[in-house]
Structure 1
Amino acid sequence: MAYRAAMAAKNGSEGQGTRDKLIDAAFRAVARDGLADTNVKSIAAEAGVNPGLLHYHFASKDALLEAAIESASARYMAEIDALIATTPRARLFDAYVAFAAATLDANRDLFRVRLALGARAMNDARLAARLEIGNAAVRERLATVFAAGAGRSVPDDRDRLRARATKAAFEGMMLSWLTNPDFPMRAVLGEWAEGMRAVLHKPG
């Protein structure tokens, strides 16, 4: 819902509006139907446009899917940037944990689409490289959060290593949550937060 609202709020020319409709539709179609069952016709139908317009705005269906995940990821990272910019450093780690818990449901489709494309990227080096750009940006923000939690203003190599471990752990947690409705996602997130607090506050 948050993603759709962000797309609807965009202003621009009629051509830009059609492009945004296709991005929004592709994102929703993959989140609902999966990659295998999402095609040009289903995306166009979801967007309410002629299928030919997809090829006018994008070189291929894959290019559209990449634009969809990049757009949604940029929105998500903008929310984290706002959190970092407006939260006192001493409270940033706790604020991030609260943010992550509060936005789980709102970002469920984002996690689903990212994991679907991540699975495809195992056999697609070009897609893997595109996704890594977004992954690196998320990790750097996590490193900033971890540095603040440890009382430092600038992330160091240890913060970045923790960010790598956390990003990988989160993807496993999200996969478990998306495939098993009984997975205690919030409880697991809470346990991760407690463990990370102990690590960040450990002397040395």
Structure 2
Amino acid sequence: MARPRSGKTSSNPAPEVAGESDARARLIAASYRVLAERGYDATTVKEVARVAGVNQGLVHYYFGSKDALLLAVTREHSQQYVAELRRLREETPLEQLADASFAWGERHLRSAPEQFRLRYELFALGLRNAELTAAVGELQAQGDSEVARVVARYRGGEDVAPEPIDQHYASIIKACFDGLALQSLLDPAFDATPVYALLKQMVLKSMDGPGGAKSPPRRASSSRGQARRGGPRNRPRRRVRPTR
């Protein structure tokens, strides 16, 4: 039998043990709806149970607290996010990967802004609830890791393990996406489309490798080569007149 997420044994036995996986899924779906519509502070366990059509005690049985419920809901959608990004990386031709990835991120915001609202609720929760800080950080790391694999494939031309530079790019890209999403939610007049385009241009111009737009660093030319190309040694020197 499943135990509460908080690690504590429930004082009341679960009334729906036979369909507990279904009940848990219904609670997560209901929590997503209520949290997205009302926000974390206005959401009650009673309302979540009512929307899910289950006994209120099941919320505590499966999750232990409203904080853990929000974490479970966000984890569920993070797994979907990672799975979609993985399919994008594996199925998209290399020459289309950059455009498809940035377009997917922008489309994700426009089609499901409530998911970003829940992310920000979770960020705040991770900052004020020390018991959940590590779990929230783990979700962030999972998203960064999948973005880094996309970057690694684009830079290397194949599906390879990310290098540290790929992780750095992933952190920058994800931080920018989160920031643009937050600004879009707070300011309905904000148009993120040209900003996404500029961000893509800036990121790709700084990358090197088969898929990158940046050429590999050129080796320093010899003085003889510079002379043949009209380099500095082939230029006439300017005479310096002595001062009186």
TM-score (norm 1): 0.86
Q: 82, 99, 102: which one pairs with 1:97?
A: 102
Q: Alignment partner of 1:46: what SS?
A: helix
- Corresponding residue number in structure 2 for 1:202: 214
Q: 118, 121, 127: which one pairs with 1:116?
A: 121
C-alpha contact (below 8 Å) 1:111/1:174 kept by paired residues: yes
| 1:152-176 C-alpha deviation (Å, 9 max, x unpaired) | 4432211111111222222211111
- Corresponding residue number in structure 2 for 1:87: 92
| Amino-acid identity (%) | 34
Tell me by how many angstroms 1:56 deviates: 2.6
1:21 maps onto 2:26 in alignment? yes
TM-score (norm 2): 0.72
Q: 160, 182, 189: which one pairs with 1:182?
A: 189
C-alpha contact (below 8 Å) 2:109/2:116 kept by paired residues: no
C-alpha contact (below 8 Å) 1:143/1:160 kept by paired residues: yes
RMSD: 1.8
Distance across 2 between alignment mates of 1:99 and 1:187: 15
Gaps of 5+ in 1: 1-12
Distance across 2 between alignment mates of 1:72 and 1:16: 17
Distance across 1 between alignment mates of 2:198 and 2:52: 41
- Corresponding residue number in structure 2 for 1:63: 68
How many residues align? The count is: 192
Q: Alignment partner of 1:119: what SS?
A: helix
Output the amino acid matched with 2:201.
Answer: E
Q: Alignment partner of 2:110: what SS?
A: coil
Please say which structure displays the higher CA radius of gyration.
2
- Corresponding residue number in structure 1 for 2:151: 146
- Corresponding residue number in structure 2 for 1:37: 42
**Structure with larger RCO (C-alpha < 8 A, sep 6+):** 1
